[in-house]
Structure 1
Amino acid sequence: MRPKQIAAKLIFLLTLMLLAGNAMAAGLLKPVGANDSAALAISSHKVDVTINNGFVRTEVDQTFANSSGTATEVIYSFPLPKQSSLSELSLWIAGQEILGEVVEKQRARQIYEEQKAQGNQTALAEKNDYRSYDVKVGNIPAQSDVRVRLVYYQPLEIDLNIGRYIYPQAEGNVDEERISFWSTDDKVSGPFHFHLQLKSAFPVKDVRLPGLDQEAIIQRSGGMSEENAGDIIDVTIDRPEGSQLNKDIVFYYRLDDSVPARIELVPYKADKNSEGTFMLVVTPAADLQPISEGTDWTFVLDNSGSMGGHKISTLTDGVNRVLGQMRANDRFRIITFNNSAQELTSGYINATTENVQQWISALKNIQAGGGTNLFAGLESAYRKLDEDRTSSIILVTDGVANVGNTAHKDFLRLLQKYDIRLFTFVIGNSANQPLLDRLARDSGGFAMNISDADDISGRLLQAKAKVLHQALHDVEIDISGERVTDLTPEKIGNLYAGQQLVQFGRYNSDGEVTIKMKAKISGQPHSWKTTANLPQTATDNPELERLWALAKIDQTMEEVREKGEIETLKNKVIDYGLNYSLVTDYTSMLVVTVDVLENQGIQRRNADRVQKERIAQQQKAAAPVQNHRIDQSSNNGAGSFNNRPSPGINFGSGSGPVGLLTIPLLAWMNRKKK
């Protein structure tokens, strides 16, 4: 079966689903019905974000207040940011910062409980699978407060010249067990302060914070002159007492249309005797032709209980809009799933005016409820495929499979039977991103995560430009010589128009290497190359070691989800977590006093790592923006991609959000898989 790329009208359908919903939020977890819950509060919430050199540092500094007459514990929970590594947890005791250290999960929990029982102040950060980070703070003194700070890092990719950062606060309403036991206090009794600084080596055309344009204060400094190369943009949001932590803050920035396609390499090497780490970022440009062909559509729609409320009504309204613009020679199927799957259409339906109107009326009766049998929904979609027509499967879900087959290996086996692209649209925070990313990538499609605070038009335009053009298939990176090891991810797959490739690696000796990228376009091989120098010493970005380790952890966890908790795989994750001070599924961050660390034999690895990172961050804050492009010398100065501009939002899609609802459906069809 040879599929095609999906339509922007479809993406409009998917984004509609996120405009409303019944969701929890980031905040303090309190037992449902607890009488003394009012005694605990978040008295201040400060966020400081730095985007620089292709990755993001997010610092959250909070004060928790205890107005009761006894010492007590608080639990703060927030949605797990995508591809994030929680790397610092600090607790202030007697005015002094005590930094957390990473310990195996069960041991950390045991020590935390022992310290809490002894009346000592302590803290613990744990990862709740793909859903959230949970931070416990024990023994906040009576009639007092405590300051807690956490830091996490994550890579940031540019897509069609657009960078996108989310500070996640809205929960996805997918953890039924948690919802039944905990209520969430998402109010901040004191001030809320959010500050973001973007440092870009390339000119920034504009920035946007959807829904916050009147509230956010945006200041720009720097410029692209030789004296002060780079753009620096500061965003500040201050809110009064009583603000809530129930809506994501989404920050977009768009690079100028003149920004070139390029290859960048950001290195870190502590000294000449240390092993080096690097982040390779490739922003390709190639002759990707536009595509416009017909297809069969299979909509696989989640109508489980977590899709309740306004979500299900916006879902059906979005499907109706798509059906209303189909041509008579198109066909569609509609499958819904909760505890089981139902094919509403009993096969393909020709998109005649009469049939479309009939199914528009029928879809209004869809109700949300029950569990999520995601496997049954996908299995039904793969039945009755017509070998003579191109097809695409579009899955819309929060991905939290809890009925029927739920193991990753079951989904992967199902996918391997069919040569058809699956496009997954992941709704909100706390969704099963690992599963949906893997399914989309292994099928040659892509996954898109959408927040209810997103710029809907902007996300639609991004997806439109991606699916309207050919893609780069079977992408590979080859780095000559024996200096480079541990490239992660190992398997890249496909790259769509405007999509960046971000890869981490290690190197054991300095010197020049040749970097070659290979891919196929419509079955024809293409390649691009450049040379780069791996430095003997480069101390600006020690955070890259954590990001490399996080990529290795993610790669190993894919195996765990597919093969089960094999001891060797589990131990690899634990080793990465301990050696690079990362909170993982099997390691947690524990805050206790220095004497407890010594008594427990816990090394202060994180304290040493954080000291290096903070020194480097102070130096970078005072330094000009650094450009890490390495391919200018290729092709007589034309760069690896022959002076092509980096594909932007206008790539084959017109300028700006014009006429989105009136574009014919056929313009958005998916291309056949090569």
Structure 2
Amino acid sequence: MKSLIKYIFIVVVLATNLFADGFIVIPRPNPLPNPFPLEVVYHKVDVEIDGQSAVTKIDQSFYNPSQYQLEGFYIFPIPKGAVINNFTMLINGKETKAELLDADKARKIYEDMVRQMRDPALLEYSEQNIFKLRIFPIEPRSEKKISISYSQVLESDNNLFEYIYPLNTEKFSAKPLKNVSVKVDVKSSEQIKNIYCPTHEVDIVNKDDNHSIISYESENVRPDIDFKLYFSKNASTVGLSLFSYQTGNDDGFFLLSASPSIEIDKSNIETKDITFILDVSGSMSGQKLEQAKKALLYCINNLNTGDHFNVVRFSTEAYSLFNSLKLADRQNIKEAKIFIDDLQAIGGTNIEEAFTLAFKNYTESNRPHFVVFLTDGKPTIGEMNDEKLVKRILNANKSKSRIFTFGIGDEINTHLLDKLTDETKAWRTYVSDEEDIEIKVSNFYDKIQSPVLSDLKLNFENIKVYQTYPKDLPDLFNGSNLLVFGRYKGNGNVKVSLTGKLNGQIKEFTLNGKLRNDYKEYNFIPPLWASRRIGHLLDLIRLNGEDKELVDEVTMLAREHGIITPYTSYLIMEDEEIRVRGGRLVDDFQTIPPAPELKKENEADYFRMKDKSGRGSVEVSEEFQSLNSATNYSQTQQGNERLSYTNSKGEIKNLSQQVKNVLGRAVYQQEKFWVDSELQNREMKNAKRIQFNSDEYFVLLNKEPETAQFLALGQNVRFYHNNVFYEVYE
């Protein structure tokens, strides 16, 4: 133990809540005067989950770019309370034994590293046991391949299972990882439902009801957040799962997941009515029309048995394939193919007549009715004012049919299309000139091809819920996973009921759950809820005009939850500048550093909301919809490539990389200090200044272990904890 205290760490790859790849400690004396990180060549994770048993296998390769042969120790932190079985480690193919050290010994190692290195990043692991082993030699300019495997039993919370794999390397990796991949193969004797990853964009392949493969892969990235995966087991046709997060006396946050079976019986798939409306004006000529025709043919060829359909084409005038929706049988599909094949682009754009004809030729039935509308232009004939046109279309839509819109190119009226989708509980899609219309439309149709439930309603007994998103529930489709985020008051047992229509009959699915007091396990829920509410509010501002109360709420939510986009960063900078000038906010508590050039650029982004057409208008619409439907962290970071600026030292920074979520709230890097957003909401009655690396610093760490999450951010941190304002300084 004493000899290990003399070492400094040279690289940390992964370490966090459930399991961590380790880091390498290089001993003094020199040859190396200063620590530097070894490069991670690749990082591959394969996980097999069978029932509740999970086996994780990790392959990674470190590269020593120096000219020296090095000796080091590999340290592998183990989360508090984790039960590990069959831990094995191979170094360049040779099995090596690792020594297990308990948390007390591990904490001593971490603290001594912090004292010597003056880097507190390791403190977040101060409550964990570790595996430790010696690595020698680490040859100059060569790779050291390390393989680890371990098994564990996943815990169940109301039949909800959680698997976490850490990908938190940003603090320690000198260079982006060349390749990182995580593959999770889940099998179960029971039906698997509600597969959800809140942290990463994953690909989910459902082999059948009992077997799914979830994968994530990226290149040249610095992963800075753990990989989290949730799933449930449920034999019901529609499975429900409930997550909650609550701290102190504040109202809680919840997430409800509704997921239908994969192998669903045809009797549980709702037949649908669908009308396709296609713009064939002159501007659609050439490749655009050819792609649109292929897209329509794909949809027609994939209609389900029992579906009814129609096709309306419009330019100067509108024409309908049938006078009413027809059954998708062989003869009617044949006529539709001939109709589509004969389409030619010529004339103006009469959107009003197209919708009038579409709804005139529709007779309401027990089946849900979807309208798929494709256009590349603004109306040039008939009603051309977007507000009046929307009203006329909605008045004609007496059955409240869903209107899904596709805007092709940039010369379209985004306000028109977005109001139609918003009012009818549908969604919008935009296709740039570089994208393929056929691919976009066919991907969309695959999602809505088989409705399972329509006209959804959600009820919570014993608990009051509010500000739920999506605000209006969409229909539930086979292969989908409906996620509903919201707030709740109180806590305790709750019965959740989801009702909907299936072929005219009311179906109900229930879940008995519990919303707990002061429960912090699912800390991903608040920022995702905030993203959805912010997206919703920004859309209201964009489509209906600016409102001070809405702007103030967007500013507050974005700051508290770290939803930093070009639009919200402008609002936060403007708000904090005004309050600093007025003496209502001290400089030390500002969250976003003053950056005049960036503010000017973000201001231009914000006021693009008023544009109704053009590339900027399309970009705003797409980014707001992504915020309003966010299911993972990356989707909350819209426009992050437009957040770069030069700080006072001449360094290029990006605002999106200067915010972290700690204990359910956002903490910002403001020049050299990390600043807790909660400080703007509290009176500073009790304040303590503590010097980094002092005896008092480590006393705080041991007395208040939760503060390690703040202290790990850096040497200079301002934060609020247990009614005390702490300022840690160098």
Bigger RCO (CA 8 Å, 6+ sep)? 1
TM-score by length of structure 2 reads: 0.40
Bigger CA radius of gyration: 2
TM-score by length of structure 1 reads: 0.43
Which has a greater percent of helix?
2
